[in-house]
Amino acid sequence: MNAIISASELASDLAGPTPPVVLDVRWQLGGPNLRAEYEKAHIPGAVFVDLDSELAGPAGVGGRHPLPDPELFGAAMRAAGVSADRDVVVYDGGQGWAAARAWWLLGYTGHPSVRVLDGGFAAWSGPVSSEVPTPAPGSFVPAPGARPLLDADGAAALARTGLLLDARAGERYRGEVEPIDPVGGHIPGAVSAPTTENVTDDGQFLTAAELAERFKSLGATGTSEVGVYCGSGVSGAHEVLALAVAGIPAALYAGSWSEWSQDGSRPVVVGPDPQ
C-alpha cells in the first residue's frame, strides 16, 4: 500500500462501505496546541491527536520528543477509534511533519495500514465540520519494533557503514544557527538532506521517481542501510515517509539531534561536509 493518499482518494474512501479512521494531528513546534483550529474546522469524523502529549513522551535525556510509553500511546489510539483491522489516515495542517510522526509511530507499533494525506488539511477541498466526534473505542494494542529504530550509538555506526541523512535545514546541519538545541552542527558522517526538499511549494510530495533520484544523488544506492535523524524525531519521520514513497526502507533515530547534542561526550561536526 502507498504510504500517502490524495485528497480525492480519501474523499472516495470516506464515502465507501468501510471508511478509514481519520486522525487530525495539526501541530506547531513550541506550541500552543492546535486543538482550537481543529474545533473550528476539520475533515468530518476526524479525531484530534496531540503530538506533544500523545505521540511523544516527556522531554528529557532522550530528546525533546522521545517515543511515548507504549501503553499510554495505545490507550490514546484506542480512544481515537484505532483498531488494527481498520485503515487509518492521518493529516496535519499541510507541512506533513506531525502526520508523518503519527504514520511512523503507528507503523512502528504494528499497525498494518496507515497513510498520510498528501498536502494535509490545506489540500482538502471536501466538506468540513466543527462537530467533535465521539468514536467507538478501538482495539489497537501496540507491539513496538515493526519499523527499524536507531539509538545514538546505532546512528553513529550507520553514519560510518551506511547512509545517515540529516533532515533538518541546511544551516542547522552546518552549525550556522541553532534555535532550539544546545549546540549546532551534525553527527559525524551524516549527509545534509533537508526534508523540505522532498515536497513541492504546496507541501505535496514529489513523485516517487523524483524522490528516488534525489535520494540516489545523496548516496542511497540500494546496497547500504539508510537512517534518518532531525531535531527531535518529527521532521525525520517525514523524511522516512519520503523514502518509503521512493521505495527505500529507512530507520529513524528518534532521539535525534535533541538527544545527541545534550550529551557532551558525543562528537559534533560543523560546516558543509559530512566528515
Catalytic, 195? Answer no
| Structure-derived torsion over alpha carbons of residues 61, 63, 67, 68, reported in degrees to the nearest 10 | 70
Which parts of the chain are beta strand (E)?
4-5, 21-24, 47-48, 88-91, 114-117, 149-150, 163-166, 191-192, 226-229, 251-253
Cell numbers given for 183: 549546540
Q: Is 33 exposed, middle or buried (0-12, 13-18, 19+ CB in 10 A)?
A: middle
Find all residues with CB under 8 Å of 138, minimum gap 6, and list them. 21, 77, 78, 79, 80, 81, 82, 83, 86
Amino acid identity, residue 48?
F
> How far is the C-alpha of 244 from the C-alpha of 96, rounded, in Å?
14
User: Would you give the distance in Å from CA 13 to the centre of its chain?
Assistant: 23
Residues, the chain? 275
Tell which residue, 151, 156, 143, has the closest CA to residue 66. 151
Choosing from 102, 158, 228, 230, the catalytic residue is 230
Can you tell me which residue has the cell 539531534? 257
| Count of C-beta atoms within a 10 Å radius of residue 61 | 10
Which residues participate in catalysis according to the annotation?
Answer: 230
